[in-house]
A and B are shown apart, each in its own frame.
Chain A
Amino acid sequence: MKNILATSRRLGRSPSLGRFAVVAFAAAAVVLPFLFPAGSPFIDDCVLALAYIVMALGLNIIVGYAGLLDLGYVAFFAIGAYTIGWLGSGFFFGANGGGGIHLFVSEPLTSAPGIHLTFPAILVFAVVFTVVAGMAIGLPTLRLRGDYIAIVTLAFGEIIGRLAINGDEVNVGRVWDRTAGALPLVPGIGDEARLTAGRRGITPVDRIDLPGLPRFGALDLRPWYFTILALVGVAIFVNWRLRDSRHGRAWIALREDEVAAASMGIPLVRTKLLAYGVGAAFGGVSGAFLGSYLNTVNADQFQFQFSIFILAMVVLGGLGSAKGVIVGAIALAFLNSFLIPDVINTLPDRLGFDFDFTRVSFGIFGFLLVIMMVLRPEGLLPERRRQLELRGIADSEVMPPESEPQPARGRDALEPEPAGSGT
């Protein structure tokens, strides 16, 4: 308790005010969907925004905490989405000899062909797959720094994207082996099983079906909203707890000075892989949710721009600051799904230009980022530490001022410094 108070005081804010803001924000998030019709497009925008927040908070661990610039985050979205595409749809229609595999799913699905697992189980698989993928992308970047990490991760995102597009040609049910003839690669999912459905997309995807609740529907968006809100809660909790922990400190040390960090006992390989793994897991969780919510897992969803979209949220809000990242994600999500298409889209047309704003939305994001970098490089709600670094915020704002002699400024201040204790 004392610690919390001390931390808040260090932040230079009133602790009760800060806590009040958090509680008010959380309460507003819970009440919000009841102020709109159950199927309102506004709630739809909110659900997407919340899904982006989960991803942005995951990327925040990789880029904000550990300082590993990841330009291929879309890969984890893709892997999470394909997890539900594989394990929560009729995509592998040949599974179990056409009888299907089912785990804790309710009525219409219990006899459907394909693999149908309950959503929590799919989340577990999504986490496992993305953590493995995150570490796989981590391995080649271990000896790299800065921009080179960005290039490798960018390539990784592109590889996964290409794999998604061309995966409909990849037969995972059976591979050809010259000596033994046909060999099953993944046994039990049918001879015709493909890796992905390419641009056609895997559809329909099972709607979330939680034990004890009715199956989520397309008309009532509130259950979707509360599910992803709960996942946001988990992501916030993990970000917040890790920041001031042994692991969070290790990531920050790594970000600031790799050599000093290693010499202070931080195992570089393990620490970096952990950051990739934890960050990737949230991409997977959010991806699995979106696969179900959007009812399709489509290769066109996994484009490079998406990585930049999420990264822009993190940078805009403030690298390493969970609060900032949430604000950044909400701002960009609504800019993308509401402000640009619904509000300002026809502006150029009315001014006599022949284009609309949805086609240049990334230009708008880029413009915003440039403005941010000029006016407020530390982000909207920066982390205290970064604020110190970028702004050199005076310590008087962090700690009460003290009576140490300041370096002489005016003519009046030209007094001799107190002599050091002689020896």
Chain B
Amino acid sequence: MSAPAATLQTRDVTKRFGGLVAVDRVSIGVPERAIASIIGPNGAGKTTLFDLLTGLHRPSSGSVAYRGREITRARPDQILASGMARTFQNIRLFPTLTALENVLIGRHARLKATLGGSILRPPWVVKEERTARARSRELLEYVGIARRHVDRSVTSLSYGDKRRVEIARALASDPRLLLLDEPTAGMNPSESHTLTTLMRTLRDELELTIVLIEHDMKVVMGVSDQVTVLDHGVKIAEGTPEHVRTDPKVIEAYLGFDHHRPEPVESR
């Protein structure tokens, strides 16, 4: 066991789709306020693992616990309410809404207006709504969305800005743990550098725990406290970036041959 006080802990979590074992007895513990990366080749089961953590899929077996509470069979909205929010690999913003409205939806779980309250709008609902809007604007600014983009349709935003809006939307639910699925995918080096800085800021300022799926090794090695490597649904290595980088199994999974062999293919 890596860290004793893991805030997020999976035990032998497994997901089968018919004959395919997408995630195979994976146990991961993420300590509080850590940045933990999950890496692995395409199809290794990383996103499926995220779906298991956030309740979009139910594990075939095994369990998931968050802050000491079992969440294996909880619904996505219950998991979000318990303090875990996520982003998606293929950005899933609500396309007809503005950036601000998208973030407001992330705030849904923290708002208390009842149906009657929404219709009649007593003072406390008006106040709640106003606070939510102010907070959402703050968050958009925090992740680096220019003020003039806030009230525009999200479809008109640049790719990098969409990713940032998605992070703001996740942050709007006041999470303690953030799951980011390939946040730097499709970004240029300068954008992904900014995002890496943002992740550290989030961890330090908002005291978040961050779990990250990432392909960009520069990002992974630069930001992670802990790296977990999946291959064909199986956890093949776990540890500090340095440890994982030199692990023969990892190199084999990524490069597909035994690195101990003295010389790779040389001939043409």
Q: What is the interface of chain A, defined by CB distance below 8 A to chain B?
A: 6, 10, 237-238, 241-242, 245-250, 252-253, 256-257, 259-268, 274, 278, 385-386, 388-389, 395, 398-399, 402, 420-423
Q: Top 5 nearest A-B pairs by Cβ distance?
A: A265-B109, A245-B118, A385-B96, A265-B80, A260-B92
**Are B119 and A238 in touch, CB under 8 angstroms?**
yes
From B92, B95, B170, contact of A389 by CB (8 A): B95
Chain A binding surface, main DSSP class: helix
**Are A241 and B119 in touch, CB under 8 angstroms?**
yes
Chain B residues positioned under 8 Å from A388 (CB to CB): 96, 153, 155
Chain B residues positioned under 8 Å from A385 (CB to CB): 96-97
Chain A residues positioned under 8 Å from B93 (CB to CB): 260
Let me know if B189 is at the binding interface, CB within 8 A. yes
From A253, A261, A423, contact of B189 by CB (8 A): A423
Would you mind naming 27 contact pairs between A and B with Cβ atoms under 8 Å apart? A238-B119, A241-B120, A245-B113, A245-B129, A246-B111, A246-B118, A253-B94, A253-B97, A253-B105, A253-B108, A256-B95, A256-B97, A263-B80, A263-B88, A264-B108, A264-B109, A265-B77, A265-B106, A265-B109, A268-B75, A278-B115, A386-B96, A395-B152, A398-B153, A399-B148, A420-B188, A421-B190
Q: What is the interface of chain B, defined by CB distance below 8 A to chain A?
A: 54-56, 75-77, 80-81, 85-86, 88, 92-97, 101, 104-106, 108-109, 111, 113, 115, 118-121, 129, 148, 151-153, 155-156, 169-170, 173, 188-191, 193
Q: How far is the CA of A268 from the CA of B54 in the complex (A)?
A: 15
**Are B94 and A257 in touch, CB under 8 angstroms?**
yes
**Are A266 and B105 in touch, CB under 8 angstroms?**
yes
- Interface centre among A260, A278, A420, by most chain B C-beta atoms within 10 angstroms, is A260
From A10, A249, A395, contact of B108 by CB (8 A): A249
**Are A420 and B156 in touch, CB under 8 angstroms?**
no
Chain B residues positioned under 8 Å from A386 (CB to CB): 96
Known: A262-B75, A395-B152. Contact between A247 and B92, CB under 8 A? no
**Are A264 and B95 in touch, CB under 8 angstroms?**
no
Q: How far is the CA of A386 from the CA of B97 in the complex (A)?
A: 9
Q: How far is the CA of A285 from the CA of B108 in the complex (A)?
A: 30
Known: A249-B101, A266-B108, A395-B156. Contact between A256 and B94, CB under 8 A? yes
**Are B193 and A264 in touch, CB under 8 angstroms?**
no
Chain B residues positioned under 8 Å from A421 (CB to CB): 190
Q: How far is the CA of A257 from the CA of B88 in the complex (A)?
A: 12
Chain A residues positioned under 8 Å from B121 (CB to CB): 241, 245
CB distance from A81 to the nearest CB of B (A): 25
Chain A residues positioned under 8 Å from B109 (CB to CB): 264-266
CB distance from B83 to the nearest CB of A (A): 11
**Are B151 and A399 in touch, CB under 8 angstroms?**
yes
**Are B119 and A264 in touch, CB under 8 angstroms?**
no
Chain B residues positioned under 8 Å from A398 (CB to CB): 152-153
Chain B residues positioned under 8 Å from A263 (CB to CB): 54, 56, 76, 80, 85-86, 88
CB distance from B41 to the nearest CB of A (A): 24
Chain A residues positioned under 8 Å from B88 (CB to CB): 260, 263
Chain A residues positioned under 8 Å from B75 (CB to CB): 262, 267-268
CB distance from A54 to the nearest CB of B (A): 16
Chain B residues positioned under 8 Å from A247 (CB to CB): 113, 115, 118
CB distance from A253 to the nearest CB of B (A): 5
Q: How far is the CA of A237 from the CA of B81 in the complex (A)?
A: 31
CB distance from A386 to the nearest CB of B (A): 6
Q: How far is the CA of A390 from the CA of B169 in the complex (A)?
A: 24
Known: A249-B108, A253-B105. Contact between A265 and B118, CB under 8 A? no
Chain B residues positioned under 8 Å from A250 (CB to CB): 105, 108
Given contacts A264-B173, A265-B106, A420-B190, 17 further A-B contacts (CB under 8 A): A6-B151, A10-B151, A241-B118, A241-B119, A242-B118, A246-B129, A249-B104, A253-B108, A260-B92, A262-B75, A263-B54, A263-B56, A264-B108, A266-B77, A388-B155, A395-B152, A423-B193
CB distance from A30 to the nearest CB of B (A): 23
**Are A264 and B190 in touch, CB under 8 angstroms?**
no
Q: How far is the CA of A389 from the CA of B97 in the complex (A)?
A: 9
**Are A257 and B92 in touch, CB under 8 angstroms?**
yes
**Are A264 and B169 in touch, CB under 8 angstroms?**
yes
**Are A261 and B190 in touch, CB under 8 angstroms?**
no
CB distance from A309 to the nearest CB of B (A): 27
CB distance from B108 to the nearest CB of A (A): 5
Chain A residues positioned under 8 Å from B56 (CB to CB): 259, 262-263
Q: Which residue of B lies closest to A421 (CB)?
A: B190
**Are A399 and B152 in touch, CB under 8 angstroms?**
yes
Known: A262-B76, A388-B155, A423-B189. Contact between A246 and B113, CB under 8 A? yes
Q: How far is the CA of A155 from the CA of B86 in the complex (A)?
A: 38
Known: A385-B96, A423-B193. Contact between A264 and B118, CB under 8 A? no
Q: How far is the CA of A420 from the CA of B194 in the complex (A)?
A: 12
Q: How far is the CA of A247 from the CA of B118 in the complex (A)?
A: 7
Q: How far is the CA of A265 from the CA of B112 in the complex (A)?
A: 13
Chain A residues positioned under 8 Å from B81 (CB to CB): 265
